[in-house]
């Protein structure tokens, strides 16, 4: 199609491209403003592709979700899948559990900061007690670094600094790992490591 024959430009196309690239956050002021003002157009556009636009204004994020076969109207099942589920290995799943737990504590206890940040050193202290390589510190550190890299690719974390190494836990992790799933996963991870949840000896609950 010659450039002159392209449809008239619509500003919501900017946010549409960003959504296809990943999560859009409220701190991305222009894409977020367009999202809120053009939400109906965007939702309709993506629905034709078999995608659901999820907008969580209180959390300040928006993302696309592939509709399941049960959710698709007749005919839509013939659409190719744009997104596929990413299977996480043990290390990545364990890290998701630790980060999600940290994010939950942050939201309950830290009322002053907007971003949830964790230093790699503090994260490693918890990681090494559950890692399959807990008796080999060099290997455990290497596996943690690899898992962080994978979750960075998925948009769950963002590196903020190298000295000290610190990571921001992105709020999309809440949507991908709700509290109900967190508790079930955490129990399985602790069971596999032969540990009990924190506070179990004194009858306390970590909420």
pLDDT in tens, 58-97: 999 999 999 888 888 888 888 888 887 777 888 898 899 9
Instruction: Specify which of 24-38, 58-72, 131-145, 183-197 reaches the highest per-range mean pLDDT.
Output: 24-38
pLDDT at 196 over 50: no
- Check: CB of residue 129 under 8 Å from CB of residue 198: no
Asked if residue 202 belongs to a domain, the reply is no
Indicate if 15 and 64 belong to the same structural domain.
yes
Query: Which of the listed residues 31, 58, 78 is the one where a domain comes to its end?
Result: 78
pLDDT at 164 over 80: yes
Read off the pTM.
Answer: 0.77
Give CA–CA dist 39/62, Å, rounded: 10
Dihedral angle, C-alpha 157, 162, 164, 170, nearest 10 °: -10
pLDDT at 184: 79
Indicate if 64 and 96 belong to the same structural domain.
no
* φ/ψ (deg, to 5) at 187: -65, -40
What is the chain's percent helix, strand, coil content, to nearest 5? Answer: 50, 15, 35
Q: Which domain holds residue 11?
A: 3-78
Q: With the C-alpha atoms ordered 148, 93, 201, 129, is the resulting torsion angle positive or negative?
A: negative
Asked if residue 148 belongs to a domain, the reply is yes
pLDDT at 84: 75
Asked if residue 171 belongs to a domain, the reply is yes
Asked if residue 205 belongs to a domain, the reply is no
Give CA–CA dist 14/42, Å, rounded: 11
Q: What is the CATH number of the domain that holds 20?
A: 1.10.10.2250
Q: Please, where are the H alpha helices in 22-119? A: 29-37, 39-47, 90-109
Indicate if 103 and 60 belong to the same structural domain.
no
* Average pLDDT value for residue range 180-205: 57
Give CA–CA dist 119/174, Å, rounded: 19
pLDDT at 14: 95
Asked if residue 9 belongs to a domain, the reply is yes
Domain count of the chain? 2
Strands 165-169 and 157-162: antiparallel
Indicate if 107 and 171 belong to the same structural domain.
yes
Provide the token pair at 29: 């002021």
Indicate if 98 and 186 belong to the same structural domain.
yes
101-155 pLDDT tens trace: 899 899 888 777 788 999 999 999 988 888 776 678 899 999 999 999 999 998 8
- Among the listed residues 158, 163, 167, 92, the one whose alpha carbon sits nearest the alpha carbon of residue 123: 167
pLDDT at 203 over 50: no
Indicate if 28 and 118 belong to the same structural domain.
no
3-state secondary structure of 143: helix
**Higher pLDDT among residues 200 and 11, named by residue:** 11
Element (H, E) at 175: helix 172-176
- Among the listed residues 197, 173, 166, 175, the one whose alpha carbon sits nearest the alpha carbon of residue 56: 175
Asked if residue 201 belongs to a domain, the reply is no
How deeply is 119 buried, as exposed, middle or buried, from its count of CB atoms within 10 A (0-12, 13-18, 19+)?
Answer: middle
pLDDT at 191 over 80: no
Query: Which of the listed residues 20, 44, 78 is the one where a domain comes to its end?
Result: 78
* φ/ψ (deg, to 5) at 118: -130, 135
């Amino acid at each position: 199609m010659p450039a002159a024959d392209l449809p008239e430009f619509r500003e919501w196309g900017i946010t549409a491209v960003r959504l296809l690239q990943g999560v859009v956050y409220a701190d991305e002021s222009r894409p977020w403003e367009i999202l809120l003002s053009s939400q109906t157009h965007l939702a309709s556009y993506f629905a034709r592709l078999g995608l659901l636009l999820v907008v969580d204004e209180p959390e300040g994020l928006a993302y696309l979700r592939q509709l399941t076969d049960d959710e698709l109207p007749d005919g839509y099942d013939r659409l190719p899948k744009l997104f596929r589920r990413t299977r996480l290995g043990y290390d990545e799943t364990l890290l998701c559990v630790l980060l999600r737990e940290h994010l939950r504590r942050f939201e309950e206890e830290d009322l002053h900061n907007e971003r949830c940040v964790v230093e790699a050193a503090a994260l490693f202290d918890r990681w090494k007690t559950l890692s399959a390589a807990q008796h080999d510190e060099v290997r455990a550190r290497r596996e943690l670094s690899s898992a962080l890299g994978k979750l960075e690719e998925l948009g769950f974390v963002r590196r903020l600094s190298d000295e000290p190494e610190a990571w921001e836990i992105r709020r999309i992790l809440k949507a991908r790992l709700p509290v109900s799933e967190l508790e079930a996963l955490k129990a399985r991870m602790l069971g596999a490591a032969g540990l009990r949840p924190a506070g179990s000896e004194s009858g306390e609950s970590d909420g």
